[in-house]
Structure 1
């Protein structure tokens, strides 16, 4: 790219005092049409720069100027177009260009500084993007249920569909749901008899489930099958008199529901440090359940700590553990570890999804490049962090504003040749085949006075 980099300044008919035009494309006299994918980002940066320098007297406008750069504008033309362009591997031409009035000193100085600063950012880059679904399988299943019921509920008689629970902030489907007449509620008080009501993927407390069974409601149970299994285990352990330890993540919606299923004496544990206190206050048998929303790698050390304190610890089979949180965390950590600079796209830095992503991204930063930044809008992409980064990671959270990922990718593509790759970690079941029956053992291993040789389980 550096070998083809070309700077040019030509006169153009456009140009107004008090304004800087940022061009989404222009015509280079030698190279022809030039795409300016970084133009929206450059406009944001230039607007902020002019606001600081000139008290917001000058305006910045992102607008195409037909014919800008074509040969024909004479020296008397009022506008000056400053441009930078390069030729990509595929022969396409990229760059950016600004137009100012020749007599506007403030705008000209700002344009010169912007061109110099953003030209310094030009380089070939590799972008690694997290490729993971916004929701786990259970969540996607529940959303499909609501979508299907919403279409059915949109009837001439004004029928409404009720969903217990609140959707995630920034998720795209709530807007469509509201337009279709979907009403999100925290309990069943506002749900009229006979109305359809959907239980969310994380389930509902036993009290709401019991009330729904008593009333003439049309219940569509969207509870994730794994959540249902864990909640049933918790209820069964509580019913037989066990002291139930609930292992879970504070931020996950299913934790309060699971705790309610485990009974009033349930003890919630968030980390290994909570274990001694959780088991010190009981003489009963102890059982554990793991909230499906917790990363497996975070949960299993807690189980080990519980076993150290309670050798006769009981609990559910690990087949009911959900790998979605682990896969998400490992995907983010992998992208971050392969990047010098990682952008986390989210609605807000305080958003729980953004906080989880930040923790995961910070677990394995590459040596010398611990930079992880939250991006809520295109203007958050600043020049300074980009200046030294060749490998960039992009983490898209569930709350990321619609279209932000595409804007960021386009802007980075406008700052030099961009190689874009997706990465995901996907944990899938691997069946375990038990060792063969005793009849299959060698004859020498089946004597009445001997022992059958142990054979390790084989994985298929």
Structure 2
């Protein structure tokens, strides 16, 4: 006969639930854009690249009739296409227009703000320094706003130290929106020291959601024995949350996509566990994680709130009801 395990037999686990966490306004808007496009145009609606970096979200939209492709040439002329929240090079909408396609740009408005800044600086005759991660869709999209060679990418403070621009007195910098706030500050410090005339954004390019989620992790890292970050490995802001936790002293910080992927051996001896989620991870995955923990622990939850968010973005006009 199998013994019944009562909750009192389970080890105690205190969860520090970071807030804000999870979806930001740009992600929320991008997902809504695909859903409303499906309602307006019917299935299938094509989406160039993952709308946001989360497989759970992508698979949910696929079930509703979205088809995700890598490039525009995979989309038939007579079906609508949505461009992902990360932004696209100018050549992509130009090609969609040339083909007379219906397209909906789901680029986050805060990414679009960076695009406009880069364009303004370029028009003023400045060379653009982009702080970001090579190969990330947002970086590809931002560099693709300007002619080839107009933008130089800097990934680290060491890159900034080695930078040899053609005209050191005519520079401007912009940044990817999902970077580590502290790392980026270090890179900007090097750029400003080496190039005192460098122009910067009027308002920081790193978005409010990235800043707030990193702030919330900092608030719990000192109290947590371990931290689980719900998010995808290709999600820049989620990966940064793991890095921030470790820098703050919580060395047992792990990125987990789904509850089934928790490595329980890494939680041995943990009495206080921090949980957060990247900006492209839905709250349902956080709830799934907590339910899995309840199966093994007697759980108590404390939500640690460091900021409140009320940001919303309008949907593009092409989706307005006729």
Quick check: 2:84–2:106 contact (8 Å CA) kept in 1? yes
Partners of 2:292 and 2:259 in 1: CA distance: 12
2:228 corresponds in structure 1 to: 343
Per residue, is there more helix in 1 or in 2?
2
Quick check: 1:293–1:325 contact (8 Å CA) kept in 2? yes
Quick check: 2:169–2:197 contact (8 Å CA) kept in 1? no
Quick check: 2:172–2:200 contact (8 Å CA) kept in 1? yes
1:300 corresponds in structure 2 to: 185
Aligned counterpart in structure 2 of residue 135 of structure 1, from 23, 27, 30? 23
TM-superposition CA deviations, 1:137-175 (whole Å, max 9, x none): 212111111111112232xxxx53122222456433322
Q: Runs of 5+ in structure 2 lacking a partner?
A: 311-322
Shift of 1:136: 2.6
Q: Which has the higher contact order (CA 8 A, sep 6+)?
A: 2
Q: Cα–Cα, structure 1 residues 284 and 129, in superposed 2: closer, same or farther, change >3 Å? A: same
3-state secondary structure, aligned to 1:317: coil
Q: Does 1:389 align with 2:270?
A: yes
Q: Cα–Cα, structure 1 residues 390 and 309, in superposed 2: closer, same or farther, change >3 Å? A: same
Partners of 2:281 and 2:67 in 1: CA distance: 23
TM-superposition CA deviations, 1:105-134 (whole Å, max 9, x none): xxxxxxxxxxxxxx5xx4443211234453
Quick check: 2:23–2:278 contact (8 Å CA) kept in 1? no
Q: Does 1:217 align with 2:101?
A: yes
Q: Cα–Cα, structure 1 residues 279 and 139, in superposed 2: closer, same or farther, change >3 Å? A: farther
Quick check: 1:203–1:223 contact (8 Å CA) kept in 2? yes
Q: Which has the larger radius of gyration?
A: 1
1:285 corresponds in structure 2 to: 170
3-state secondary structure, aligned to 1:172: helix
Q: Does 1:207 align with 2:91?
A: yes
Partners of 1:359 and 1:200 in 2: CA distance: 25
1:209-248 aligned at under 5 Å gives the runs 209-248=93-132
Shift of 1:258: 0.8
Q: Does 1:188 align with 2:69?
A: no
Quick check: 1:296–1:322 contact (8 Å CA) kept in 2? no
2:32 corresponds in structure 1 to: 144
Shift of 1:341: 2.9
Quick check: 1:243–1:284 contact (8 Å CA) kept in 2? no
Partners of 2:61 and 2:264 in 1: CA distance: 35
Q: Cα–Cα, structure 1 residues 316 and 393, in superposed 2: closer, same or farther, change >3 Å? A: closer
Partners of 1:379 and 1:196 in 2: CA distance: 35
3-state secondary structure, aligned to 2:274: strand
Q: Does 1:82 align with 2:3?
A: yes
TM-superposition CA deviations, 1:273-315 (whole Å, max 9, x none): 2113324444561111122222443323322321211222123
2:320 corresponds in structure 1 to: none
1:52-71 aligned at under 5 Å gives the runs none
3-state secondary structure, aligned to 1:82: coil
Shift of 1:359: 1.3
Q: CA RMSD in A?
A: 3.3
Shift of 1:353: 6.2
2:319 corresponds in structure 1 to: none
3-state secondary structure, aligned to 1:135: coil
Q: Does 1:371 align with 2:252?
A: yes
Q: Cα–Cα, structure 1 residues 187 and 346, in superposed 2: closer, same or farther, change >3 Å? A: closer
Partners of 2:261 and 2:181 in 1: CA distance: 36
Shift of 1:421: 1.9
Q: Cα–Cα, structure 1 residues 198 and 123, in superposed 2: closer, same or farther, change >3 Å? A: closer
TM-superposition CA deviations, 1:319-377 (whole Å, max 9, x none): 654122222222233333221233344567x87666433212212236xxx43345554
